[in-house]
């Protein structure tokens, strides 16, 4: 029997506009967002899982409790190259968002960095070192 596959990653946002700005810095294609949007989705690349952003109010309505971000990385983004890890982390910092772990050459063979979205979700950026 085939196993289920990851189709979407969902996060919540207290300030949708700020979260959209952050994820656009990471390269996500997010269409124009109405001011009262409660749920949005980035346009996925072919074969890619969708990124969904729900307002904190909607998440609380659905779950019955206020959302809380993970205390570790919620997901990781594979970059095309070590240079792209550096440039994405720099774009995040230049836009006024947090780079928790500056890009570095990790002992497991990846260029690696961690950025933090406006609600505290940690996103890892990585690319294999070398060819």
Last residue of a domain, one of 32, 63, 94: 63
Q: Give the residues across from 17 on adjacent strands.
A: none
pLDDT value of position 131: 57
**The pTM of the whole model exceeds 0.85:** yes
Residues 30, 58, single domain; the answer is yes
Q: Is residue 1 part of a domain?
A: no
> What's the CATH number where 59 sits?
3.10.180.10
Q: Which helix (H) or strand (E) holds 31?
A: none
CA distances from 123 to 27, 65, 131 (A): 13, 23, 24
C-alpha 24, offset from chain centre: 9
Beta strand 122-128 with 73-78 is parallel
> Which parts of the chain have pLDDT scores under 70?
71-73, 131
80 vs 84: CA distance, rounded Å: 6
- Domain boundaries, position 91: 73-128
Q: Considering its fold, how many domains does the chain have in total? A: 2
Residues 53, 83, single domain; the answer is no
pLDDT value of position 74: 74
């Amino acid at each position: 029997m085939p196993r289920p596959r990851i189709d979407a990653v969902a996060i919540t946002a207290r300030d949708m506009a700020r979260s959209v700005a952050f994820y656009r810095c990471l390269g996500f294609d997010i269409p124009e967002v109405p001011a009262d949007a409660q749920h949005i989705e980035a346009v996925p690349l072919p074969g890619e899982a969708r990124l969904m952003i729900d307002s904190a109010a909607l998440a609380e309505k659905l779950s019955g409790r206020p959302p809380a971000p993970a205390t570790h990385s919620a997901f990781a983004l594979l970059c095309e190259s070590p240079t792209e890890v550096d440039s994405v982390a720099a774009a995040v910092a230049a836009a006024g968002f947090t780079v928790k772990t500056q890009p570095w050459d990790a002992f497991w063979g990846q260029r690696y960095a961690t950025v933090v979205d406006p609600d505290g979700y940690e996103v890892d950026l990585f690319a294999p070192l070398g060819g």
